[in-house]
Amino acid sequence: MVPVKATQRETLGGLTLPSKFRALRQQLGQAVTPYLFLVPGLILFAAFILLPMAYSFRISFYDWNIIRPERSEYLELKNYQDIIEWPIFRRAVVNTLAYAAVTVPAQIILGLGLALLLNQKIPGQTFFRTVYYLPVITSWVIVTLLFEYLFNSQAGLINYWLQRAGIIDDPVRWFADEKLAMVPIHLLGIWKGLGWTAVVMLAGLQSIPRVLYEAAAVDGADVWAQFRRITLPLMRPTLVFLLVFLTIGALNVYISGLLLTDGGNPLDRTHFVLTLMYEETFDYFEFGRGAAISYLLTGLVFLISLVQIRLLQREIEY
Amino acid sequence: MRKTRRLHATITYALLILGIAVVLIPFVYMFSSSIKPQSYVFEMPPRLIPAEITTRNYTEALDTDQFGLYFLNSVIVAVGATTLTVLISSMMAYAFGRMHFRGKGLLFTILLLGMMIPPVMLIIPQFLIAKELHLLNSLAGLIVVYVTMNLSMQTFLLTGFFKSIPKELTEAALIDGANQWTIFWRIILPLSRHGLAVTIIFTFLYSWEEFPWAHVAIQETNRRTLPIAIALFQNQHLTEWGQVFAASIVALLPVLAVYIVFQRYFIAGIATTGMKT
């Protein structure tokens, strides 16, 4: 049926399309088709990823006027210089690095412990895994508000329990003090990320061949020796991946800081780099300074990831 | 030997249950606060099991506080973004995974770079571009950005899935005269259900929970999605925790449903790509 139709169409008007042309058309179609599949994605990618990257870089050198961009004043490196010397920014960098330094190792150590517990053949494994994953799938906004309530100074569960246990005498006003405010923020970061870390570790643990442990046990290696000689070395790629990934995530801490301390309360001393970036940009409309902060954070993230990867790779090579 | 094993199992369970308590107590407390009357929200001592139960927080949140509307907005955004992400990234993945063309390697590398760019760097110019395109204050503006932010990762994931489908399956169709679109639509997509499931779950959750972009892109009250609506509601009504948590529980339900139904895909997605929600 089909070939007949095709011939009919091609002989229309008394002309026969030579097979050469048909082949050419087919070839052309083959060359174009892949790009047709790519076009929608590439347009989006260019408009909302590639263009913004360049745009943002340009803005960071200007006192950007969002109503009339053509009136923006070119400042060369002034935005960057000002921000680097700005005490509130420096404080925000320290807070952000401290957040990473506390929450990343805590998640890795606790996550490894949890994964080792879950990796045993025990009844209810799926149940435990499901529950531990609950904070991961709950949105940052919800868990942050939940922690705000738990650490509430008037009637929060945490204050009540600490008082009952005799650790504190009077309710603590967690969010009124720059150091104390970091306690719930850090705990939240660990609590929320633990399930994900454990599941990634579990995947790593399950890829280690059982035979290795059996052979080691035959040779008389105890559990600790097996952990040090088999588990840790074979888990290294997973651990490096987690270290880099969790650090990037931690340096981008934002929602918990924004909601728990209203950005930087008290006195702009609890800012993280991102809460400061958003405040500068969308509250004070300092788009140029905001863009400069975002590039500084990106640079910091790149640098730290690079150092981590290089250091750990060298260790693998011995 | 048997004794030590039993001791070992006991310790394992004790630790796991302790951990469960740490994870679950906040959620239990959230739920119990959502069904307490307002006057009990700051009761002393705080009670995990409420003395009095009410559904008022839920009815008020959904009705007078418009959380029903915000829920609908979230559904539109999440379903729209997920559908488009699946369609667009699977089309790209088909080209990258199963076709030959000039510049393939270069384009793929550029696309992968998208996974490494921190979203922070993009949000300011994305705001300015969305402003030019009149995409601020619209659900479409949220959808477009969510699709773009998921494109690299999902295309990468699906390219791997599509590549693993044996050539013989599509060659037969080609000889029978099927065109590339037919092969993509009728053969490749149906055979990649597992991969598509991972894509659907992760994009849905991402779009359902996204806060930073929605927070800057949406100023109009009626266009809010659940995360910004909940955060702003709490900011304005500092003491009405019952309603905050009622809205939170409602926002959490679809996530829980998706998670429980698709659990094995979740674990597979994390194990193969290290994706994070």
pLDDT in tens, A213-262: 989 988 888 888 999 889 998 998 889 889 998 999 999 999 999 999 88
Confidence of residue B162 (pLDDT cuts 50, 70, 90): very high
Host domain of residue A184: 82-317
What was the pLDDT predicted at A17? Answer: 58
pLDDT in tens, A255-300: 999 999 887 788 888 999 999 999 999 888 889 999 999 999 999 9
Cα angle A71, A72, A77 (rounded to 5 degrees) comes to 155
- Asked if B52 and B37 count as a contact pair (C-beta separation under 8 A), the reply is yes
Rounded to an integer, the average pLDDT of B87-103 is 94
Chain A residue with Cα closest to B242: A149
- Residue B179, domain CATH: 1.10.3720.10
Q: Are residues A68 and A106 in the same domain?
A: no
Last residue of a domain, one of B37, B54, B71: B54
Q: Are residues A27 and A90 in the same domain?
A: no
Which percentage of chain A shows pLDDT scores above 90? 43
Give the closest residue to B275 by CA, choosing from A30, A224, A241, A116. Answer: A241
Q: Are residues B41 and B132 in the same domain?
A: no
A12 assigned to some structural domain: no
A251 assigned to some structural domain: yes
What was the pLDDT predicted at A254? Answer: 92
Residue A35 has which token pair? 């790009």
Q: How many domains does chain B have?
A: 2
Q: Are residues B32 and B78 in the same domain?
A: no
Q: Are residues A32 and A166 in the same domain?
A: no
Q: Are residues B21 and B64 in the same domain?
A: no
Reduced to 3 states (helix: H, G, I; strand: E, B; else coil), residue B117 is coil
Name the minimum distance, in Å, from the CA of B2 to any CA of chain A.
Answer: 16
A118 assigned to some structural domain: yes
Identity at B168, one-letter amino acid code: E
Write the ipTM: 0.89
Q: Is A157–B46 a contact, with Cβ atoms under 8 angstroms apart?
A: yes
Q: Are residues B47 and B80 in the same domain?
A: no
What was the pLDDT predicted at A69? Answer: 74
Q: Are residues B112 and B211 in the same domain?
A: yes
User: Does the pLDDT value for residue B119 go beyond 90?
Assistant: no
User: Does the pLDDT value for residue B92 go beyond 90?
Assistant: yes
Q: Is the peptide bond before A266 cis (omega within 30 degrees of 0)?
A: yes
Name the minimum distance, in Å, from the CA of B7 to any CA of chain A.
Answer: 14
Q: Are residues A39 and A99 in the same domain?
A: no
Name the minimum distance, in Å, from the CA of B157 to any CA of chain A.
Answer: 15
Last residue of a domain, one of A48, A74, A100: A74
A112 assigned to some structural domain: yes
**Mean pLDDT taken over chain A:** 86
Host domain of residue B46: 2-54
Residues written for chain A: 318
CA distance A157 to A187: 15
Confidence of residue B276 (pLDDT cuts 50, 70, 90): low
Give the closest residue to B120 by CA, choosing from A278, A242, A88, A271. Answer: A278
User: Does the pLDDT value for residue B15 go beyond 70?
Assistant: yes
Identity at A151, one-letter amino acid code: F
What was the pLDDT predicted at A318? Answer: 42
Rounded to an integer, the average pLDDT of B249-268 is 84
State whether residue A184 sits within 8 Å of chain B by CB: no
Q: Is B216–A282 a contact, with Cβ atoms under 8 angstroms apart?
A: yes
Q: Are residues B140 and B238 in the same domain?
A: yes
Confidence of residue A135 (pLDDT cuts 50, 70, 90): very high
Measured in Å, how far apart are chain A's first and last C-alpha atoms? 70
CA distances (Å), origin B99, targets A31, B92, B113, B173, B191: 10, 10, 21, 15, 17
Which percentage of chain B shows pLDDT scores above 90? 50
Count of beta carbons in the 10 Å neighbourhood of residue B23: 18
Rounded to an integer, the average pLDDT of A57-83 is 83
CA distance B276 to B259: 14
Q: Are residues B162 and B109 in the same domain?
A: yes
Confidence of residue B145 (pLDDT cuts 50, 70, 90): very high
Q: A244 — alpha (psi -120 to 50), left (phi > 0) or beta?
A: alpha
CA distances (Å), origin A189, targets A107, A133, A182, A276, B233: 9, 14, 10, 19, 23
User: Does the pLDDT value for residue B243 go beyond 50?
Assistant: yes
What was the pLDDT predicted at B44? Answer: 77
Which percentage of chain A shows pLDDT scores above 70? 92
Name the minimum distance, in Å, from the CA of A143 to any CA of chain B.
Answer: 9
Residues 6+ apart with CB under 8 A from A253: A96, A99, A185, A189, A272, A274
Instruction: Please give the full DSSP string across A106-170, using - where no structure is assigned.
Output: HHHHHHHHHHHHHTS--TTHHHHHHHHHHHHHS-HHHHHHHHHHHT-TTT-HHHHHHHHTTS-SS
Last residue of a domain, one of A38, A57, A74: A74
State whether residue A205 sits within 8 Å of chain B by CB: no
Predicted TM-score (pTM) above 0.90? no
What was the pLDDT predicted at A76? Answer: 82
Contacts of B124 in chain A (CB under 8 A): 52, 56, 59, 281, 287, 290-291, 294
Q: Are residues A268 and A304 in the same domain?
A: yes
- Asked if B82 and B204 count as a contact pair (C-beta separation under 8 A), the reply is yes
Rounded to an integer, the average pLDDT of B200-214 is 93
Name the minimum distance, in Å, from the CA of B95 to any CA of chain A.
Answer: 5
Chain A residue with Cα closest to B227: A141
State whether residue A46 sits within 8 Å of chain B by CB: no
Q: Are residues A64 and A112 in the same domain?
A: no
Cα angle A270, A273, A277 (rounded to 5 degrees) comes to 110
Tell which of A122, A138, A196, A200 to mutate to test the B interface (max B CBs under 10 Å): A138
Q: Are residues B15 and B78 in the same domain?
A: no
What was the pLDDT predicted at A311? Answer: 83
pLDDT in tens, B37-79: 888 888 878 888 888 888 889 998 888 788 999 999 999 999 9
What was the pLDDT predicted at A315? Answer: 59
Q: Are residues B140 and B99 in the same domain?
A: yes
**Segment 262-281 of chain A within 8 Å of chain B by CB:** 274, 277-278, 281
Range in A219-223, B163-167, B260-264 the model is least confident about: B260-264
Q: Are residues A128 and A263 in the same domain?
A: yes
What was the pLDDT predicted at A6? Answer: 44
State whether residue B49 sits within 8 Å of chain A by CB: no
Q: Are residues B142 and B17 in the same domain?
A: no
User: Does the pLDDT value for residue A1 go beyond 50?
Assistant: no
What was the pLDDT predicted at A10? Answer: 46
Higher pLDDT, A104 or A218: A104
User: Does the pLDDT value for residue B259 go beyond 80?
Assistant: yes
Q: Are residues A26 and A93 in the same domain?
A: no
What was the pLDDT predicted at A19? Answer: 67
CA distance A202 to A206: 6
What was the pLDDT predicted at B120? Answer: 79
What was the pLDDT predicted at A45? Answer: 94
A1 assigned to some structural domain: no
Range in B49-53, B123-127, B260-264 the model is least confident about: B260-264
Q: Are residues A100 and A186 in the same domain?
A: yes
User: Does the pLDDT value for residue A178 go beyond 90?
Assistant: no
User: Does the pLDDT value for residue A16 go beyond 70?
Assistant: no
- Asked if A193 and A249 count as a contact pair (C-beta separation under 8 A), the reply is yes
Q: Are residues B194 and B267 in the same domain?
A: yes
Higher pLDDT, A32 or B3: A32
CA distance A104 to A194: 10
Q: How far is CA A81 from the centre of its chain?
A: 27
Q: Are residues A311 and A294 in the same domain?
A: yes
Higher pLDDT, A73 or A307: A307
A13 assigned to some structural domain: no
Rounded to an integer, the average pLDDT of A117-141 is 87
A181 assigned to some structural domain: yes
Q: Are residues B135 and B156 in the same domain?
A: yes
Give the closest residue to B160 by CA, choosing from B110, B187, B198, B186. Answer: B198
Q: Is A137–B259 a contact, with Cβ atoms under 8 angstroms apart?
A: yes
Contacts of B104 in chain A (CB under 8 A): 34
State whether residue B183 sits within 8 Å of chain A by CB: no
Q: Are residues A149 and A59 in the same domain?
A: no
Q: Are residues A33 and A149 in the same domain?
A: no
A50 assigned to some structural domain: yes
**Mean pLDDT taken over chain B:** 88
**Segment 27-46 of chain B within 8 Å of chain A by CB:** 27, 29-30, 33, 41-46
Q: How many domains does chain A have?
A: 2
